[in-house]
Structure 1
Amino acid sequence: MSETSATFGFKDVDPKEKAGLVRGVFDSVASKYDVMNDLMSAGVHRLWKDAVAARLNPQPGETILDIAGGTGDMAHRYAKMARAAQERRGGDDATVHVIDYNAEMIAAGIARGYPPEVCWAVGDAQRLPLPDACADAYSITFGIRNVTDVQAALFEARRVLKPGGRFICLEFSRPTSSAVRSAYDLWSFKAIPQIGEWVAKDRESYQYLVESIRRFPDQRTFADMIRKAGFKTVGFSNFTGGVAAMHTGRAL
């Protein structure tokens, strides 16, 4: 990707076009998104997400941003954990803001039902409809690779976090061994688009999703981008041999 282009799968496109192209992908897959996540990962994505929620450690009274939150998978976890902490030691209700660029994904999340702590909005990760230093925690799960300008989204994450605020990002990444990489490539390029065709009736969207993972920066490069945005104590943990990685930082 250059200053005059953005990635869309293995293609380079005009940055002005990417948001619309990505919106089209998620308009198409929204109704089958949760089912497809289970099929594509054999349910392992749930374990990854549980680990992310445990690391974020939502607390009573906090304002938590679930950016590119889609159908609210993470928001449900955050609300449940904050409520459990509230029941143990009191405090105010937490607020979990699900903000996603795609209205179809938001609609699918609302339709499945949601806890009272959760509220929903359509918004762009690069230009969040929020004031400076308003949030205790910022989470983005399998969404940042779909943003047109990833660095701009990271700067925006830093802007909306309070001093000491927690940043956490779960994203597909680079397997750390050749054996895992070979098996992952075979599954990704052969099985996932085919499953998308059978279940979601949309092979092309899942072909894009697989390709977009390969174009995303590796763990160390992405960690450097997080530091560039102004975060401190930046680190990452690999899941399933680097198939996915959890990146963390603090707004200090």
Structure 2
Amino acid sequence: MKVLVPVKRVVDANVKVRVSADNTKVETANLKMAINPFCEIAVEEAVRLKEAGIATEVVVVSIGPKVVQEQIRTSMALGADRGIQIETDAELVPLSLAKILKAVQEKENAEIVMFGKQSIDGDNNQTGQMFAALTGMPQATFASEVKIENNQAIVTREVDGGLQTLSMPLPAVVTTDLRLNEPRYAKLPDIMKAKRKPLEVIAVDDLGVALKEHQTVLKVNAPAAREAGVMVSSVEELVEKLQNEAKVI
């Protein structure tokens, strides 16, 4: 069984981001970049399926310029068998990403396509669902547990009311939530081995996918700075400020 895992290059979650001077994007120059944390969880789960003898191959795919090979190599150091880079310099929206990944899936024919539920830059939470709709594959989003039994994916997912368990025939799409697992750290020998694992580079034009402008970013603003708090000397003063200034009581 083959597992295909799309991974995205994002600004490291521990880095403070800043908006560009022209307010058109988040400035990424000279910032530490990393695998999107939810994608890293997806890689970890795919590797665990392989270690359990359920999956036979884990393939990671990333869309972007040459620099995304860094995140592909990191994924292979975590246990993925090979990588695919879809080369493009364009800033793509979720629907375009889903169309490209559909073309990759048609080539790879993976039994499970495992996404992170969302990326921490756009926070759209759309690509996995759009991919499932385009391919006609059953999907389970926000997975907190994944089991494969009798050619079925049994997925426990987190919903507003608690937990929901779904059973789906393979091939299927799964998007991973935070509580699914805790990704491992790459060991030095695995990092060295990852350099020798196969990495295929495919130009986006070679996939024959028609991409369009689906949306336009008008402006990017940094969040408003929080005002400093106020120290109070007594409970009475606190109640007075909540009542007359904050007007919450």
TM-score interval, smaller chain: 0.3 to 0.5
Between structure 1 and structure 2, the one with the greater Rg is 2
Higher RCO (Cα < 8 Å, 6 or more apart): 2
Task: Give the TM-score normalised by structure 2.
Answer: 0.33
More helix by share: 1
Task: State the TM-score, normalizing by the size of structure 1.
Answer: 0.33
Structure number with higher strand proportion:
2
